Chain A
Amino acid sequence: EAGVTQFPSHSVIEKGQTVTLRCDPISGHDNLYWYRRVMGKEIKFLLHFVKESKQDESGMPNNRFLAERTGGTYSTLKVQPAELEDSGVYFCASSWSGTVYNSPLHFGNGTRLTVT
């Protein structure tokens, strides 16, 4: 089966610009997560979708970040306007909706965002 795919793999933008990251989860996975690692820090949770609904967005840093999952398939994460501290690697992950102990997260390879 195809894994979690993320696009683009790298993005370099200037401060104040807008960037949209895309994630295609594994087919059939209702749960979709966004995580990120900013430079020098741990991987941190951003938010969780169940199908098209936001289940938990407690990790979103501020209102410059907007995540959507229209139709419950792919998801986008938009940063507008981007700031220098947004630089890092953004990971998307998905899991199916069975018992959580049997449904580990499958991560994509991430999008490396550099804000200059």
Chain B
Amino acid sequence: GESVGLHLPTLSVQEGDNSIINCAYSNSASDYFIWYKQESGKGPQFIIDIRSNMDKRQGQRVTVLLNKTVKHLSLQIAATQPGDSAVYFCAERTPPGGGNKLTFGTGTQLKVEL
């Protein structure tokens, strides 16, 4: 699969538990952050985003937290389901780059155990 040769950190959780995926971003000037989910054989899929003037944003079953002091981003998934198994990437946008010119993290493999 696509992850061959790419040693990803792995998070294993039980179905129904909450998952927390962490990301340390690289640039304190970054103004926009996004979480993507990538399933095997597919492209990254948008989950949730957050601007740098916010510290928390909630979606359906997902919450993103931003701590600019320590350049840390986290994705919380409530009541994790088998369909949540995938690789999760954080991405940041740093000015003067605009639009969707993004810098991606290395990714975290989430495995949901039944």
Contacts and interface: CB of A to CB of B under 8 A. Distances in A.
Contacts, number: 72
B51 interface: yes
Given A33-B100, A100-B99, A105-B102, A40 B6 contact: yes
B56 to A, nearest CB: 16
A95 B100 contact: yes
A40 B5 contact: yes
Interface stretch (A66-74, A76-84, A108-116): A108-116
B104 A42 contact: yes
Contacts of B100: 31, 33, 48, 93, 95, 100, 103-105
B98 interface: yes
Given A40-B5, A91-B44, A95-B100, A100 B32 contact: yes
A88 to B, nearest CB: 9
A101 B43 contact: no
Interface in B24-57: 32, 34, 36, 41-46, 49, 51
A100 to B, nearest CB: 6
Given A56-B97, A105-B46, A107-B45, A43 B2 contact: no
Interface string B5-28: 111000000000000000000000
Interface residues of B, number: 28
Interface residues of A, number: 31
B44 A43 contact: yes
Nearest to A4: B43
A54 interface: no
A21 interface: no
Interface in B75-96: 89
Contacts of A112: 2
Interface of A: 4, 31, 33, 35, 37, 39-45, 48, 55-56, 59, 89, 91, 93, 95, 100-101, 103-110, 112
